[in-house]
Structure 1
Amino acid sequence: MFPTGTTIIRLTTASSRRAIGRALHTSYIAMAPIKVGESLPVTDLFEDSPANKVNVCDLTAGKTVVLFAVPGAFTPGCSKTHLPGYVQNADKIKSDGVDEIVCVSVNDPYVMAAWGLQHNTKGKIRMLADPTGAFIKALDLGINLPPLGGYRAKRFSMVIKDSKVDQLNVEPDGTGLSCSLADRLKVKS
């Protein structure tokens, strides 16, 4: 029986490591952050519990959605400024033709639910968890923040129309509080 292509690659890689004393270099295609006009990646987020999956494309299909991401639930900038700004401006944002407002963070769904409860988001903002960072990685809008546990979302906001990015505001340093705030959002009809 002949080895499969995968086995050959593994054998070649292992023998190459022994021959040269180090691992072979592997290159990959670098992603670029999502841009205005591009479609969202087909990804599941979670609301309230791991049993409640929410597909991002299904959520945004045929709708205008404001989605904002924060580095971490219960962190000072996110809890004192970012999330409260969206809670306070939810009615105004929705009166501009927005169907839903969504907050995303690389956290577990229980943490996001508790954070939303503390900030009275019910009926205003959907608190969605990206536990593995799959959605944020697919957008290429992540940042490594070791004090917050490692890989997190950069702070950003976007207006999504029918699953395509209509507007994208990414904080220049990934964590600041300027262009992604609720009062800076301009929803175009």
Structure 2
Amino acid sequence: MPISVGDAIPAVKVMQGGPDGPKELDTGEFFKGRTVVLFGVPGAFTPTCSAKHMPSFLENLDALKAKGVDAVACMAVNDAFVMGAWAKDQGITDQVTMIADGSAAFTKAMGLEFDLTARGLGVRCQRFALVAKDGKVTHIAIEAPGAFEVSSGQAVLAAL
């Protein structure tokens, strides 16, 4: 069952990818006491993720912050090195926290896994976006497989 409005964000140890290399991130602490937008993608460097999903959040960062968002984070079932390289490719320094859920533990804890083994990709994260206030989900939008309609930066901004 996927995480839904009113649910607490699970506390899971994941890795954060960035320009300074991997570091551990505790999701329970990361979401505590602030408003966070988290969006998940099936994979770093994939076409829709790179050309549409990430750019939609980068284009709307200032507007999201103006609506009270303290942090924007992107997660994928990739390792921290891949997430760091993708951040560099997208021109991200610290605007977006890049969450590397290499073993899909956080993805599975939220019930957002998507099995793409038949396509050679293994277990991935569904495309989604959520808003959490002090660790509780206040909005979530999960895309149908292959779609990109409800989880963009613009859609999250409209939901705030």
Q: Same fold (TM over 0.5)?
A: yes
- Alpha-carbon distance in 2 for matches of 1:157, 1:164: 14
Q: Say whether residues 1:54 and 2:25 are aligned partners.
A: yes
Letter in 2 for 1:160: A
SS in 2 for 1:47: strand
Q: 1:84 to 1:58 in 2, by over 3 A?
A: same
Larger radius of gyration: 1
Match in the other structure for 2:6? 37
Query: Where does structure 2 lack aligned partners over 5 or more consecutive residues?
Result: none
Per-residue Cα deviation, 1:70-100 (whole angstroms, up to 9, x for no partner): 0000000101000111111111111111000
Per-residue Cα deviation, 1:54-84 (whole angstroms, up to 9, x for no partner): 1111011010000000000000010100011
Match in the other structure for 1:150? 122
Query: Where does structure 1 lack aligned partners over 5 or more consecutive residues?
Result: 1-31
> Which is worse superposed, 131-140 or 84-93?
84-93
Q: What is the alpha-carbon root mean square deviation over aligned residues? A: 1.2
Q: Could you tell me the percent identity over the aligned residues?
A: 37
- Alpha-carbon distance in 2 for matches of 1:157, 1:149: 21
Contact 1:159-1:187 at 8 Å conserved across structures = no
SS in 2 for 1:101: strand
Letter in 1 for 2:26: N
SS in 2 for 1:111: helix
- Alpha-carbon distance in 1 for matches of 2:47, 2:76: 14
Contact 1:39-1:165 at 8 Å conserved across structures = yes
Contact 1:72-1:148 at 8 Å conserved across structures = no
Match in the other structure for 2:70? 99
Length-normalised TM-score, structure 1: 0.78
> By percentage of residues, which structure has more strand?
2
Alignment partner for residue 120 of structure 1, among 78, 82, 91? 91
Per-residue Cα deviation, 1:108-150 (whole angstroms, up to 9, x for no partner): 0000000011111223111110000000001111101133521
* Number of residue pairs the alignment of both structures matches: 155
- Alpha-carbon distance in 2 for matches of 1:148, 1:45: 23
- Alpha-carbon distance in 2 for matches of 1:69, 1:62: 21
Length-normalised TM-score, structure 2: 0.92
- Alpha-carbon distance in 2 for matches of 1:178, 1:130: 24
Q: Say whether residues 1:134 and 2:134 are aligned partners.
A: no
